């Protein structure tokens, strides 16, 4: 492992796909590619700061695996989770908007009953015990000083299955008072809570929660959201 990888100023960035990372990688100087356990890590200098981008893959397990490798192998001081998300009906968000996470929530870890859903605190099982605190479904996210005045921020939900109906979307946003959903964020925050590393999560809105067909989301909307969130990150990264 090189000295740069062990720099105390290392910033980690976890991204699920190349669409959500390509703009960032193109702005990195002296970029080097490492592969660890099937995951790609792009290391270099961004605006004078050593950074490592992990392309973790889609979903909770991939996110937890990639984040763990990033923490263990490259030892970041802070970690950014950058990607896209689906916006809930009452959020007022539109495709291409960029949102900042205040907390991440596992939306489907718990017990589903006929009368409703019970989260892990109701079951009495914390998912994480770290630094004398129990974490159940919710993990706080860090907001850098330069972003504290940003208005489009709130709770994010992480799910194993994307929501494909307005009724389900309204149920989730009401239950957790959330803006949007994704498939990785809570797993990233979970691992970083164990490691004592602050996490900043920024996402671009790629779709609105509505009646879905089995067809993939519009690629143009995904690209727009991914490019917008990466440009937002680059403009504000210090």
Segment (H or E) for 13: strand 11-15
d(CA 113, CA 22): 42
Mean pLDDT of the residues in the chain: 93
Tell which CATH architecture fits domain 11-236: 3-Layer(aba) Sandwich (3.40)
Residue 3 has pLDDT above 60, yes or no: no
Residue 215 DSSP code = S
Q: Are 13 and 52 in contact (CB under 8 A)?
A: yes
How would DSSP label each residue in 120-160?
Answer: HHHHT--SEEETTEEESSEEE----GGGTT-SSEEEEEE-S
Q: Are strands 29-36 and 39-46 parallel, antiparallel or unpaired?
A: antiparallel
| Cα 231-232-235 angle, rounded to 5 deg | 85
pLDDT at residue 8, as a whole number: 54
pTM: 0.93
- Per-residue pLDDT tens digits for 183-221: 999 999 999 999 999 999 999 999 999 988 888 888 999
- Per-residue pLDDT tens digits for 12-64: 999 999 999 999 999 999 999 999 999 999 999 999 999 999 999 999 999 99
Locate tokens 């959500």: which residue?
Answer: 20
Residue 5 has pLDDT above 60, yes or no: no
Q: Are 207 and 228 in contact (CB under 8 A)?
A: no
Closest CA relative to residue 139, chosen from 196, 204, 90: 196
Residue 151 has pLDDT above 50, yes or no: yes
d(CA 56, CA 33): 14
Locate tokens 């993990």: which residue?
Answer: 139
Taking residues 141-168, report their average pLDDT: 95
Locate tokens 């490259």: which residue?
Answer: 74
């Amino acid at each position: 492992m090189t000295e740069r990888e062990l720099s105390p100023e290392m910033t980690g960035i976890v991204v699920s796909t190349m669409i959500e990372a390509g703009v960032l990688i193109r702005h990195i100087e002296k970029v080097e590619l490492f592969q660890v356990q099937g995951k790609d890590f792009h290391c270099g200098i961004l605006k004078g700061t050593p950074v490592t981008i992990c392309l973790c893959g889609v979903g909770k397990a991939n996110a937890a695996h990639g984040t763990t490798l990033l923490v263990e192998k490259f030892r970041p001081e802070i970690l950014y989770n950058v990607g896209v998300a689906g916006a809930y009906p009452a959020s007022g968000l539109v495709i291409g908007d960029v949102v900042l996470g205040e907390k991440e929530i596992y939306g489907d870890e718990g017990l589903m009953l006929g009368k409703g859903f019970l989260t892990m605190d109701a079951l009495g099982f914390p998912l994480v015990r770290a630094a004398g605190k129990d974490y159940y479904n919710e993990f706080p996210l860090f907001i850098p000083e330069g972003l504290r005045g940003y208005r489009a921020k709130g709770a994010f939900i992480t799910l194993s299955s994307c929501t494909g109906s307005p009724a389900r979307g309204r149920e989730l946003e009401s239950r957790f008072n959330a803006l949007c959903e994704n498939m990785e964020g809570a797993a990233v925050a979970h691992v970083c809570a164990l490691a004592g590393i602050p996490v900043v999560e920024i996402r671009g809105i790629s779709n609105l929660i509505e009646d879905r067909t089995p067809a993939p989301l519009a690629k143009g909307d995904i690209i727009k959201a991914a490019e917008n969130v990466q440009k937002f990150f680059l403009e504000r990264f210090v």
